[in-house]
């Protein structure tokens, strides 16, 4: 049946909102989508496109449940229908009209047709004018009924998961490689000694400079079972032998997945993904602040420090030109001291002998930077000499430190971190204020919607970065108060390399922040832990324990 363009329907929009129906229960987004004003907007937008409908009245039952029809405005609307003032009722969706199938169905299937009322549920695509048989009428109503049933189940299941997540229980179906479920408590992860050792190897190799490709090859060459094969081997009782002939192997991807998974540091992150609702099968990634994150949820396989180092290395790897799979001890650490560009390593063959050197790419390319060039061999031996002397100096300072009352040093370190946290917090506050003010700017018409969204994203990004920084500083502070920082904190990195016979990738990555190249083969080595080192030097100076200052510069 087609809509007659002559006939003008006198329509009423019917709006309803109720707490009891869970309209506010699970997220502010949901409440917003069902708010009275948004219901009205949806209906008005719909009517604007209907030449045969004229909106003449509005009835709003705010705070009345949809499980019965004893609602004052609904009753008033029915009087208007009977008085012939309106002959069309429009709701946003069927659940706004009613939540009880029997009553709602009685109105839609019997009463409205008898009274000649056209009934429209915009979002359910239901229009009584377009459904002539009672059969087709039932379909959307049935869907609606299923809907409310499913919705309830879905909410219950979800909230149950969420509360378990908050308790640090492992609710995912997936057990990360390297862990097993505790036999007596399936919600707890325990280390799988076999796979856990492989995870440790993978991290160690990465620090030593191997690429994910090389690591995967090495694992396959050693005959180490891939994560899926390993899982299969654990469930061997349930599988028949012939299922294992097509063996999956280690891939660079599976290596990367392990190298970037924070679960190995004992952190449990869950609830990263969600389905918008039970109807939609695809998942979306939630905002990071909505993730559930629990530290010390299970025994770590990898120390936080090593994990963070590997993340840093992975970032450097991704910055390096693709195709260069080999990692040299100084890869990603050498920069031009003048223009700050990552120095480039060139390899040449001279009289049959291979020779490599580092230089500023800008100097070579268009001469926009002053020339400098140092052979890799020379650079490596200089860096090694600097490291050896720096380590010696730092460990001497540590000795001096140990003779001073430990508490004084702790106070000092704590004060340094407090200061840093204070600075970061102020920065964050500023970002938050700016984020609010751009909303006002949008309202005042000073910026466009597009600009607003762009700026909002920018500030959100900045805020989350600052949050991460603050988190790290707080962690460091907690370590000091636990008394572990002096023994196993950053100083232990230097202790570990106190006898450094040659320049290894691991030592460079662990101790060197960057190496700057200057003309005439001058170099400057910036060690990691600059703040900590400077603080220690200053402290020792004050204590008059030593006058020596680390000089990370040679000519
Ligand atoms: Zn340069």
CA of 318 to the centre of ligand 1 (A): 21
Query: Residue 487 pLDDT more than 70?
Result: no
pLDDT at 236: 42
Banded model confidence at residue 302, pLDDT cuts 50, 70, 90: very high
What sections of 320-373 are H helices per DSSP? 361-365
CA of 489 to the centre of ligand 1 (A): 35
Model confidence pLDDT, tens digit, residues 356-412: 999 999 887 887 888 888 999 999 998 998 888 888 888 887 777 777 666 677 777
pLDDT at 202: 95
CA of 200 to the centre of ligand 1 (A): 38
Class of domain 179-239+249-307: alpha beta
Model confidence pLDDT, tens digit, residues 168-178: 555 565 688 99
Banded model confidence at residue 451, pLDDT cuts 50, 70, 90: confident
pLDDT at 196: 93
Q: Which residues make beta-bridge pairs with 522?
A: 518
Domain parsing of the chain, residue ranges: 9-164, 179-239+249-307, 388-555
pLDDT at 495: 82
CA-atom Rg of the chain in angstroms: 34
Query: Residue 88 pLDDT more than 70?
Result: yes
CA of 335 to the centre of ligand 1 (A): 8
Tokens of 288: 């990071």
pLDDT at 231: 81
CA of 520 to the centre of ligand 1 (A): 13
CA of 333 to the centre of ligand 1 (A): 14
Q: CA–CA separation, 122 vs 542, rounded Å?
A: 76
Query: Residue 275 pLDDT more than 60?
Result: no
Banded model confidence at residue 536, pLDDT cuts 50, 70, 90: confident
Model confidence pLDDT, tens digit, residues 222-263: 888 888 888 877 764 334 334 444 567 899 999 999 999 999
CA of 346 to the centre of ligand 1 (A): 15
CA of 341 to the centre of ligand 1 (A): 6
Banded model confidence at residue 109, pLDDT cuts 50, 70, 90: confident
Q: CA–CA separation, 359 vs 340, rounded Å?
A: 12
Q: CA–CA separation, 224 vs 108, rounded Å?
A: 65
- What is the DSSP code (8-state) at residue 264? G
Higher pLDDT, 484 or 532: 532
Residue in this structure with the two tokens 């009205």, named with its chain if needed: 40
CA of 379 to the centre of ligand 1 (A): 17
Which CATH number does 9-164 carry? 3.40.50.1390
What does DSSP say about strands 512-518 and 334-336: parallel, antiparallel, or unpaired? parallel
Banded model confidence at residue 200, pLDDT cuts 50, 70, 90: very high
Model confidence pLDDT, tens digit, residues 25-60: 444 444 555 688 888 988 999 999 888 899 999 999
Q: Please, are residues 526 and 516 in contact by the beta-carbon 8 Å criterion?
A: yes
Give every CB contact of residue 88 below 8 A, 6+ residues apart in sequence.
Answer: 9, 10, 11, 12, 53, 117, 118, 119, 120
Q: CA–CA separation, 292 vs 58, rounded Å?
A: 43
């Amino acid at each position: 049946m087609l809509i007659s363009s002559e006939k003008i329907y006198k329509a009423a929009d019917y709006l309803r909102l109720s707490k009891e129906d869970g309209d506010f229960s699970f997220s502010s987004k949901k409440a917003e989508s069902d708010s009275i004003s948004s219901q009205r907007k949806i209906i008005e937008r719909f009517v604007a496109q209907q030449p045969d409908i004229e909106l003449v009245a509005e009835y709003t039952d705010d705070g009345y449940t949809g499980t019965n029809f004893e609602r004052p405005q609904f009753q008033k609307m029915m009087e208007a229908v009977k008085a012939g003032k309106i002959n069309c009722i429009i709701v946003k969706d069927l659940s706004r009209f009613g939540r009880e199938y029997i009553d709602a169905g009685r109105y839609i299937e019997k009463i409205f047709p008898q009274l000649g009322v056209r009934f429209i549920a915009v979002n359910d695509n239901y229009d009584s004018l377009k459904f002539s048989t009672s059969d087709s009428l039932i379909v959307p109503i049935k869907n609606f009924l299923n809907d409310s049933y499913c919705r309830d189940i879905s909410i219950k299941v979800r909230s149950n998961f969420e509360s378990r997540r908050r308790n640090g229980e492992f609710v995912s179906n997936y057990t990360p490689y390297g862990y097993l479920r505790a036999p007596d408590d399936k919600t707890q992860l325990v280390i799988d000694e076999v796979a856990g050792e492989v995870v440790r190897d993978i991290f160690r190799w990465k620090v030593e400079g191997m690429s994910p490709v090389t690591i995967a090859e090495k694992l396959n060459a050693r005959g180490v079972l891939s994560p899926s094969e390993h899982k299969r081997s654990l469930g061997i009782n349930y599988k028949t032998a012939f299922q294992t002939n097509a063996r999956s192997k280690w891939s660079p991807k599976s290596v990367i997945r392990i190298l970037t998974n924070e679960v190995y540091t004992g952190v449990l992150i869950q609830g990263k993904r969600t389905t918008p609702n039970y109807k939609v099968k695809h998942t979306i990634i939630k905002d990071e602040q909505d993730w559930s994150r629990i530290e010390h949820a299970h025994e770590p396989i990898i120390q936080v420090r090593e994990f963070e180092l590997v993340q840093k290395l992975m970032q450097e790897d991704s910055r390096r030109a693709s195709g260069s799979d080999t990692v040299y001890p100084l890869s990603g650490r050498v920069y031009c001291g003048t223009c700050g560009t990552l120095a480039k390593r060139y390899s040449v063959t001279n009289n049959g002998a291979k020779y490599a050197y580092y230089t500023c790419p800008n100097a070579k390319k268009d001469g926009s930077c002053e020339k400098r060039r140092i052979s890799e061999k020379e650079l490596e031996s200089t860096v090694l000499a600097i490291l050896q002397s720096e380590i010696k100096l730092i460990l001497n300072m540590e000795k001096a430190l140990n003779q001073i009352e430990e508490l004084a040093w702790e106070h000092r370190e704590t004060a340094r971190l407090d200061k840093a946290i204070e600075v970061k917090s102020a920065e964050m506050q500023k970002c938050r204020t700016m984020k609010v003010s751009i909303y006002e700017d949008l309202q005042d018409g000073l910026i466009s919607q597009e600009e607003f969204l762009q700026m909002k994203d920018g500030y959100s990004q900045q805020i989350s970065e600052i949050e991460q920084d603050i988190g790290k500083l707080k962690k460091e502070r907690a370590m000091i108060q636990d008394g572990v920082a002096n023994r196993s904190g950053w100083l232990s990195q230097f202790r570990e390399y106190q006898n450094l016979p040659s320049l290894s990738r691991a030592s460079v990555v662990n101790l060197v922040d960057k190496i700057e190249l200057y003309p005439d083969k001058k170099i400057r080595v910036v060690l990691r832990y600059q703040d900590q080192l400077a603080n220690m030097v200053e402290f020792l100076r004050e204590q008059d324990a030593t006058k020596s200052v680390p000089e990370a510069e040679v000519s």
